[in-house]
Amino acid sequence: MTERLVVIGGDATGMAAASQARRRRAAGELEIVAFERGRHVSYSACGIPYWIAGDTDGPDSLVARTAAEHRKNDIDLRLGTEAVAIDAERGRVLSRDTDGREEWTGYDQLVIATGAVPVRPPIPGVEAAGVHGVQTLDDGEAVLKGLDREGVRRAVVVGGGYIGVEMAEAMLRHGLDVTLVDGAEQPMSTLDPDMGRLVRDALEGLGVRVVSGSPVTAVLTDDGGRARAVATDDEEFPADIVVLGLGVRPNTALAADAGLPLGSHGGLLTDRAMRVRGRETVWAGGDCVEVLNLVSGTLQHIALGTHANKHGRIIGVNIGGGYATFPGVVGTAVSKVCDVEIARTGLKESQARAAGLQYVTAVIESTSRAGYYPEAAVMTVKMLAERGTGRLLGVQIVGREGAAKRVDIAAVALTAGMTVDQMIELDLGYAPPFSPVWDPILVAARKAAGEVAERAGRR
Amino acid sequence: MTERLVVIGGDATGMAAASQARRRRAAGELEIVAFERGRHVSYSACGIPYWIAGDTDGPDSLVARTAAEHRKNDIDLRLGTEAVAIDAERGRVLSRDTDGREEWTGYDQLVIATGAVPVRPPIPGVEAAGVHGVQTLDDGEAVLKGLDREGVRRAVVVGGGYIGVEMAEAMLRHGLDVTLVDGAEQPMSTLDPDMGRLVRDALEGLGVRVVSGSPVTAVLTDDGGRARAVATDDEEFPADIVVLGLGVRPNTALAADAGLPLGSHGGLLTDRAMRVRGRETVWAGGDCVEVLNLVSGTLQHIALGTHANKHGRIIGVNIGGGYATFPGVVGTAVSKVCDVEIARTGLKESQARAAGLQYVTAVIESTSRAGYYPEAAVMTVKMLAERGTGRLLGVQIVGREGAAKRVDIAAVALTAGMTVDQMIELDLGYAPPFSPVWDPILVAARKAAGEVAERAGRR
């Protein structure tokens, strides 16, 4: 008998799950229906800032696989069609197309891949014309159209996280005066403030005005209702265009209405196989779920394309009759603003404290290449290790070329539960164009191991 | 009572050991005497090809710490002084200075850091003028002087390993016609031949003539005794300068004469603390010892500055009253020729076979950045995994920017004994400027895991 798989959401998780299930089960055995409310599928939202900056074409080049390709693959993909209700009891989904036509579709297996929605603070003016999110390809087109208007000279970016700093760069690249306004102590609050300070210095060096510790209280509008400034308690920042980079939250209203289990961050809760907890035939992954942080042992919401793709593959393998699981994350993230590279993995200080972990820290400066080699660039590495055990807890890096992807060394070490003492002897690639004889990660591990020993001496 | 530490060899291991011991024990407690037969200490031999290529100044910039700095640190450093005998019974070393004066110096602790000597094949003409090794700073100066001679147009590089390909690039940078002659099936025989083929293609693309599978049988000389050509069984290659890049062997004649234990590769055998086996007060490290390969479980000789520095630190910590050990290596090495990056870790196919390991292989092509991001460069990744267990055995990478240091991910995974299945879910840094959504290492792990499963199905 033919089973039916229904997929809600046509981006990374949903379409990876559909494609992987299709590779393992032919159309005669598994019918696949996918609902996507937008016009695009399988696109890289992470690429939008680079498209806006002009680094890459868009929006087509950001699409990894087109609707036509999915359909050729015997996936019944319905664009412009939104899932508006899940009836988990009877195993069916209510969809609505752009003409308002509604229809119930029964499922044997359901994949919920509804992604995330950008955080819009509940402040006056936030919905005004000229205020842009950067979540979808349509958003990207709207920003580019906004930049094309006459007399656009000043941009205000609200939020200093990854999207915020990437969009600050994109606005600079359009020749605008850029102000970045953020409520946190320093930009890039996924780093500790001492490392965030380096990002702030880099942004300021590029000519961005950085206003930290000042939550935005309103978007002020002109007579036509268009954004003209962003206000904090202390100041007004004139803006011809406003970009919101305040992060995202799980898009789980539909799942909540269906009575599916949500965690404290609002994401769906799943088992290791990415099955929604307690539901045999309902799966979820990507930006709408919570994931286990292997270092803190707690659940987190992390919206990142790489996790979304992995989840989709795992779901598709399992629906296809194979077996795959997702062990969790260690919290790795990399970004850049112009030539400044930023990376982190594991726990920052406040996260370690929240997890009940005591730790030592080590901050070192080293270079990306042998000091005598051309273009050797300074990088700062901060490492956290657990008091007593010396187990690695986290790494943060700010530098230039060659800085960001070094965090992968720490990501693997975290996954393996290595101590900083063990890390000192890691056999990392060395040649003068690629590393000093002691890789910066090893230098940090040496210092951290020293701190662990010192702390042990004075219990 | 003051102890005396005698160090033989003033490069990475010897001076790192001396410096680390000094940090932990003051001059009143530990006297340190170091013999170095050359004129330089603590220099980066790995930097010599880049100095010759003109990428970096030399030779001073290649010196990490000068003799004067070491002496200021209360290390009695004797340049131009060669250790010519070790009397292990009575605990003393016989040294000879440039004037031929000999002297016995007693020791309480001895560090043997005599490094390696370049392999010179026993063929006619190999000692002729115009034939250069690239092991010491003096060698580097000699090559540069050789290049300054009038009418130097054609270089022949003998040997296709790391030094060979780096020197081929250096010769190209001087505008020479370059021929690389090598006895192995493909250049860079630390890779499997299918990956070495990519290095060959890259070298040929740069204009190097690559002659493989042809051991050099003679260096032909002119009437003045200067090298004029390199000969194989089949052909003669005219040369105005000849560079030997045939690798090195442990420099252990002195240790052998003293009855110290050597392994099958001619390197000193040590325990985990880098103490020479069975000798309480004799230590050795760097290019003159054999190290445990953690993947094959066998001893190897690997001449690499990063190991030499680690060994020196460990010896110094232990002599200084602390505790440190060297667990072994996984065989990581990175290099480049112009903009082509080359990396390897773990075992290649022939090494896995020699270790009695059965394996599957996966070869994939991916890119260093998201495909749509500017300058995304193709890289080829080859992965070996153990049959049955799926344990990672090795990774080889040939690509361009961003290829080489990705091998560190595999180096850490090898150290941790991960399976390729576990590697698929590694939380590696992802952002479009730094990686496709599936990092190339993850793509290779997926394919390798598939091969492991497939092979399991057909036992």
Do B225 and B202 share a structural domain?
yes
Give the Cα separation of B286 and B16 in Å (integer).
Answer: 11
CA A327 to chain centre: 18
A124 occurs within a structural domain: no
Residue B325: inside a domain: no
DSSP bridge pairs for B293: B329
Of the candidates A291, A319, A347, which is a domain's last residue? Answer: A319
Does B213 lie in the same domain as B291?
no
What span, in angstroms and rounded, lies between the C-alpha atoms of B323 and A176?
57
Residue A457 lies in a domain: no
| Residue of A287, A408, A446 best to disrupt the B interface, most CBs of B under 10 A | A408
User: What burial letters (b/e) apply to A179-198, b meaning 16+ CB within 10 Å?
Assistant: bbbbbbebbbbbbbbebbbb
Q: Do A428 and A441 contact (CB within 8 A), yes or no? A: yes
Asked whether residue A459 is assigned to any structural domain, the reply reads no
To the nearest whole Å, the CA of A304 is away from the closest chain B CA by 8
User: Which positions in chain B touch A287 (Cβ < 8 Å)?
Assistant: none
pLDDT at B459 over 60: no
Whether residues B103 and B142 share a domain: the answer is no
Give the CA count within 13 Å in the CB-facing half-sphere of A198.
21
Residues B388 and B413 in one domain: yes
Q: Which of A407, A403, A412 is nearest to A434 (CA)?
A: A403
pLDDT per residue as tens digits for the range B365-387: 999 999 999 989 999 999 999 99
Dump the DSSP string for A130-179. Answer: TEE--SSHHHHHHHHHHHHSTT--EEEEE--SHHHHHHHHHHHHTT-EEE
Active site residues of B: 46
Number of domain units in chain A: 3
The predicted-structure confidence for B5-64, as pLDDT tens digits, reads as follows 999 999 999 999 999 999 999 999 999 999 999 999 988 888 999 999 999 988 999 999
ipTM of the complex: 0.94
Contacts of B374 in chain A (CB under 8 A): 55-56
Asked if B405's CB is within 8 angstroms of A405's CB, the reply is: yes
Q: Do A362 and A445 sit in the same domain of this protein?
A: yes
List, in sequence order, every residue forming a beta bridge with B422; answer none if it has no partner: none
User: Does residue B172 sit in the same domain as residue B219?
Assistant: yes
Decide if B179 contacts B154 (C-beta within 8 A): yes
CA distance A425 to chain B (A): 7
* Rounded-to-integer distance, Cα B300 and Cα B391, Å: 21
Q: Are B153 and B204 contained in the same domain?
A: yes
Q: What is the pLDDT of residues B226-273, one digit of tens each?
A: 999 999 999 999 999 999 998 899 999 999 999 999 999 999 999 999
Q: Of the candidates A338, A375, A347, which has an alpha carbon nearest to the alpha carbon of residue A204?
A: A338
Amino acid letter for position A111: V
Q: Which residues of A254-267 are buried (b: 16+ CB within 10 A; e: fewer)?
A: bbeebebebbebbb
Q: How many CB atoms lie within 10 A of CB A407?
A: 29
Task: Pick B437's closest partner by Cβ from A61, A309, A429.
Answer: A309
CATH code: domain of residue B398:
3.50.50.60
Contact B412 A407 (CB under 8 A): no
Return the half-sphere exposure (C-beta side, CA atoms, 13 A cut-off) of residue B235: 12
Query: How many beta-carbon contacts under 8 Å exist across A and B?
Result: 207
- Give domain status of residue A442, yes or no: yes
Q: What domain range includes position B12?
A: 3-116+249-319
B253 shares a domain with B110: yes
What is the per-residue pLDDT for B388?
95
A36: left (phi over 0), alpha (psi -120 to 50) or beta: beta
Residues of A in contact with B424 (CB under 8 A): 310
**Residue B100 Cα distances to A433, B39, B84, B94, B95, angstroms:** 40, 16, 11, 12, 9
Q: Do B305 and A418 touch (CB under 8 A)?
A: no
Distance from CA of B100 to the nearest CA of A (A): 35
At which of B246, B265, B284 does a domain end? B246
Cβ contact, residue pair B56, A406, below 8 Å: no
Residue-wise pLDDT for B261-280, tens only, equals 999 999 999 999 999 999 99
- Find the angle CA(B443)-CA(B445)-CA(B448) to the nearest 5 degrees: 110
* Nearest in space to A245 (alpha carbons), one of A130, A165, A339, A141: A165
Contact B408 A404 (CB under 8 A): no
The last residue of one of the domains, among A246, A274, A295, is A246
Average pLDDT score over residue span B279-284: 97
Residues of A in contact with B373 (CB under 8 A): 47, 50, 55-56
Which of A7, A16, A32, A46 does the annotation list as catalytic?
Answer: A46
Strand partners, B129: B226
Show pLDDT as tens, one digit a residue, over chain A (459 residues): 799 999 999 999 999 999 999 999 999 999 999 999 999 998 888 899 999 999 998 899 999 999 999 999 999 999 999 999 999 999 999 999 999 999 999 999 999 999 999 888 899 999 999 999 998 899 999 999 999 999 999 999 999 999 999 999 999 999 999 999 999 999 999 999 999 999 999 999 999 999 999 999 999 999 999 999 999 999 999 999 999 999 899 999 999 999 999 999 999 999 999 999 999 999 999 999 999 999 999 999 999 999 999 999 999 999 999 999 999 999 999 999 999 999 999 999 999 999 999 999 999 999 999 999 998 999 999 999 999 999 999 999 999 999 999 999 999 999 999 999 999 999 999 999 999 999 999 999 999 999 999 998 765
Residues B236 and B253 in one domain: no
Are B221 and B269 in a shared domain?
no
Residue from A412, A442, A446 whose CB has the most chain B CBs within 10 Å, to mutate: A412
Residues 6+ away with beta carbon under 8 Å from B261: B268, B269, B276, B277, B278
**Neighboring chain B residues of A343 at a CB cutoff of 8 Å:** 429
Do both A33 and A82 map to the same domain? Answer: yes
Same domain, yes or no: B339 and B314: no
* Residue A58 confidence (pLDDT): 85
pTM: 0.95
